[in-house]
Structure 1
Amino acid sequence: MASDEGFSDFFYTAPDGLKLHARIYGEANTDAWPVVCLPGLTRNARDFHELALYLSGEAKRPRKVIAFDYRGRGRSDYDPDISHYKVGVEAGDVLTGLAALGIEQAAFIGTSRGGLIIHVLGALKPAVLNAIVLNDIGPVIEVEGLAHIRSYLERAPKPKTFAEAVDTQRRVHGAGFPALGDADWARMVAAISRETEAGLVPDFDPALVDTLAGADLSKPLPDLWPQFDALAAVPLLAIRGANSKLFSGATLGEMQRRHSGMETIIAEGQGHAPFLETGDLPKKIAAFLDRVENQVEYK
């Protein structure tokens, strides 16, 4: 049963025994494709709360929405073996969760790492992908963007209060996100943090930072063009933050060349990764999902 916040908590067990968590919005919405939301590296299901409320309730065609906490994030168990914090394992966890929910096909929205997981799902179980929304991610990750993320995580400030955390996020990331207001930054901090006796802390396993330590950022990172090309038949919407350092305009252009039916949105005044609940992004995402589902139904 959904809570007063509009969702219910779903717990399931990974193949290696970890207890994992997802949020379910709009459980009674069975007349449209469900939507699966996959967050970024250190983020969690709360990133999608406002978007999920819109897609499951306010949209013209309400949908069931499932937002996952990967292992080591949010309400999912931390993994004692940090070598399991990798895209392939997390993709398997998502498939396990969907199987537990009885979901065989869905539309997928992936932010950053979530988009990488979608590329892997296309290789592991392509039939599960009805449609894809990639939020500021593609087959090529720019070294500058990943270096920025690693540097921030390794030297992340440790604010003690919520207000201090909001000020910190705005100070560190504000130049890349001039489109955001005070409420947006506050919502972000609420999504990525949790209260403890020691104060406010990031809501992920600190060992996740160590998984980036071995990345050689002196040369281009391996790309996923073969995996992307395998998605050519899947309806795709790519969103790029106009100020993104991780997802380049050149990569977006090459994606358009390879996937002729791909739709695009440039989120002005936002960097990596755009806040999907802001501006007209929820309506545009919902319209894309409705449009491609209608095309399938009318064939």
Structure 2
Amino acid sequence: MSAQFRDVFCQSADGLKLHAKVIGPDNSAALPVFCVPGLTRTTDDFNEIAIALATDPGTPRKVVAIDLRGRGLSDYDPDPAKYSVPVELGDVLTMATSLGISRTIMLGTSRGGLISMALAATKPDLLAGVILNDIGPALEMGGLVKIKGYITNPPVRQTWGEAVTGLKGMFGTVFPSLTDADWQVWARRAFRETAHGGLERTYDERLSATVEGIDLSNPPPPIWELFDALAGIPLMLIHGELSDLLSPQGVQDMITRRPDIDLVKVADQGHAPLLADKPTMDRIIAFCARCDGA
């Protein structure tokens, strides 16, 4: 089967152009998978797992990955206050409707996982299964402060070498096994070349407004009510064993509430696992097959 991505676009409720990549058969009897990336990330983060799901010889399935507003090829919002989970949840529903998706398995990385939990509270009939990639209802302040640090006044990167060096400096300790080629791939997803030379980030830098309120003295309350809305929905949790955002205790607290959770631990990776290693992809493929039969 051909593993070719197709670009699709639709219009948000407030008139922005939204972009998604689609791969896999439109006529598959298997449930589609809808991927939602992290705060500053794009559809490209799901390339490997999307191809694996779309070309699985046993059950090939359609995979959709969305660029949330202000990221990738989606329009930037003139009002940065709209970079919020409720608005982005609406964008996910708009894209799903435009593609005729009425039931799906959600794969959400970080911010995308928060949106997936919010969907369980607002649109549970859409969800045939949920995969949370290194995200939960209770988050570690150290990880939140780190995110705030790297998206607030980020340094300029003029060359790909500078981009790679900068990424290694920020994330090298929690991704110690990545090769030089892996870091190059990461850089190509985090930056793009400008028409006038140099590089720019693949997101609206005004997204920093979303983390302005993060303060060590005022940690955000846990959102267990959204996690509990997942009751009855097949659930997988992928946890980077070096994650500084989701702690082992946070994982255990989730298991206590959901003993049936399908837990995948990813060694030598932090926040958030890259979903590109074969063992993790095989587990995701198997989970999606179980959702088909649920």
Q: TM-score range by the shorter chain?
A: over 0.9
C-alpha distance in structure 2 between counterparts of 1:113 and 1:122, whole Å: 15
Shift of 1:159: 2.0
Distance 1:188 1:87 in 2: 25
Alpha-carbon offset, residue 257 of structure 1? 0.9
**TM-score, normalization: structure 1?**
0.94
Query: Which of the numbers 58, 61, 64 marks the counterpart of 2:62?
Result: 64
Q: CA deviation at 1:291?
A: 2.4
Give the TM-score normalised by structure 2. 0.95
The range that moved more, 38-47 or 164-173, is 164-173
Q: Does 1:132 align with 2:130?
A: yes
Residue 228 (structure 2) aligns with: 229
In structure 2, distance between residues paired with 1:161 and 1:5: 31
Gaps of 5+ in 2: none
Which amino acid letter does the alignment assign opposite residue 266 of structure 1? K
Distance 1:29 1:165, change over 3 A: farther
Displacement of 1:86: 0.3
Identity, % of aligned positions: 44
- 1:119-158 aligned within 5 A: 119-158=117-156
Structure 2 residue 232 is the aligned partner of structure 1 residue 238: no
Query: What is the identity, as a one-letter code, of the residue corresponding to 2:242?
Result: N
Q: Say if 1:22 and 1:67, in contact at 8 Å, map to a contact too.
A: yes
Instruction: State the partner residue of 1:11.
Output: 9
Q: Does the Cα contact within 8 Å between 2:3 and 2:55 map onto a contact in 1? A: no
Residue matched to 1:200:
199
CA distance in 2, matches of 1:270, 1:195: 28
RMSD: 1.6
**Kindly tell me: are residues 59 and 271 of structure 1, through their superposed partners in 2, closer, same or farther at Cα, counting changes over 3 Å?**
farther
Unaligned runs of 5+ in 1: none
Within 2, Cα distance between the matches of 1:288 and 1:164? 39
Report the Cα distance in structure 2 between the residues aligned to 1:250 and 1:154, rounded to whole angstroms. 29
CA offset digits 1:70-99 (Å, max 9, x no partner) = 000000000011110000100011001101
Instruction: Provide the secondary structure at the position in 2 that maps to 1:176.
Output: coil
Given that 1:59 and 1:283 are in contact with CA atoms closer than 8 Å, whether structure 2 keeps it comes out as no
Pick the aligned partner of 2:31 from 28, 33, 37: 33
Q: Judge conservation of contact 2:108–2:133 (CA < 8 Å) in 1.
A: yes
Q: What secondary structure does 1:53 align onto?
A: helix
- Aligned amino acid, residue 237 of structure 2: A
Return the offset for 1:256: 0.6
Could you tell me which amino acid in structure 1 is paired with residue 52 of structure 2?
A: Y
Counterpart residue number, 2:21: 23
Match of 1:105 among 97, 103, 106: 103
Deviations 1:221-273 (A, max 9, x none): 12110111111101111011111111111111111111121010111101110
Specify the alignment match of 2:87 in structure 1. 89
Distance 1:59 1:215, change over 3 A: farther
